[in-house]
Amino acid sequence: MINTIAYKLFYQLGQWVLWMRQVFSKPEKINVYWRETIRQMNDLGVGSLPVVFIISIFFGAVTTVQFYYQISGTFVPNYYIGYIVRDMTIIELAPTFTCMLLAGKVGSNIAAEIGGMRQKEIIDAMDVMGVNTAAFLVLPRLIAAVFMIPLLVILAAAISILGGYFASVWGNLFTVSEFIQGLHSFFIPYNVFIMLVKAFTFAFLLTTISAYQGYFVKSGSIELGKASTNAVVLSDVAILVADYIIALVMT
């Protein structure tokens, strides 16, 4: 049993490494790849804006309300809430939760789209034409993701802090100046760097894992569903493991 699981794991890992070599081989025609990258940036980045906006504003709002509940009536000053919301958002909530959310939205979409192409013989058609399908299908998505997802994460952080602001002001929990004082307190720019490293790493992981699941899908709608689910689950697990490693290494 353990042997079989270990064999499967190493087989998949080996296949992934070999496939990544194919993905990073020289593109046949730069302008065709570039056109596809722009298209993916729009689908993946601009297309994810509404959901990132909604989730982030509530992250910030809920975090603020919860912390106010925790520290009200204690000796901890209220402005600490702004400080905690800011740092939690930058270090953890914005990169990790936004990318886990995008694993669900973008990752499952990538797996289903590429898997559908495999099942409808579109990948075979491109193989017959001599196109490096791994590179053509994955590289534009990967470039789009590692460029757009950090931008989405920055935006998510800003919106989340704004959500905290609205919750505190509109909820009459404490004053605006207390919240803003908190935002200005103990700021460490290095934390923003950690956030970007996380966003970049998670973008790479969720795109390649999802594309891999779709690229090697077997025939049938059940397999396509499995590939889509695996893309989300494995991307989320990989994001959490990477999150832990980055936290250990960088903090």
Partner 1 sequence: MIKIKDIEKSFGEKVVLKGITSTFHRGKTNLIIGRSGAGKTVLLKILVGLFQPNKGEVWYDDQSFFQLSKKEARQLRMKIGMLFQGGALFDSWNVEENIRFPLDMYTEMSYTEKRERVKEVLKKVELTGVENKYPSELSGGMQKRVGIARAIVLNPQYLFCDEPNSGLDPKTAIVIDQLILDITQQYDITTVINTHDMNSVMEIGDNILLLKDGCVAWQGNKDEILTSEDPTIIEFIFASPFLKRLRKKALGL
Query: Could you list the residues that contact partner 1 (CB under 8 A)?
Result: 28-29, 31-32, 116-117, 120-122, 124-125, 127-131
Closest CA to 228 of 213, 239, 215, 238: 213
d(CA 111, CA 123): 14
Q: Which is nearer to partner 1, 124 or 171 (CB)?
A: 124
Min separation Cβ 213 and partner 1, Å: 19
Q: How far is the CB of 79 from partner 1 (least distance, A)?
A: 50
Q: What is the largest CA-CA distance in the chain?
A: 71
Q: How far is the CB of 2 from partner 1 (least distance, A)?
A: 24
How far is residue 173's CA from residue 193's CA, in Å, rounded to a whole number? Answer: 31
Residue 48 or 133 with smaller CB distance to partner 1? 133
DSSP state of 219: S
Query: And the tokens for 159?
Result: 């919106």
Sequence-distant (≥ 6) Cβ neighbours of residue 185 within 8 angstroms: 79, 80, 82, 83
The nearer residue to partner 1, 2 or 128, going by C-beta atoms, is 128
CB 125, min distance to partner 1, A = 4
Cβ-based nearer residue to partner 1, 72 or 127: 127
For residue 36, the minimal CB distance to partner 1 (Å) is 10
DSSP 148-190: HHHHHHHHHHHHHHHHHHHHHHHTTSS-HHHHHHHHHTT--TH
Q: Which is nearer to partner 1, 32 or 250 (CB)?
A: 32
Q: Which amino acid is at 210?
A: S
Q: Is 125 or 240 the residue whose CB approaches partner 1 more closely?
A: 125
In angstroms, rounded to a whole number, what is the distance separating the alpha carbons of residues 175 and 166?
Answer: 11
Q: CB 39 → partner 1: shortest distance, Å?
A: 8
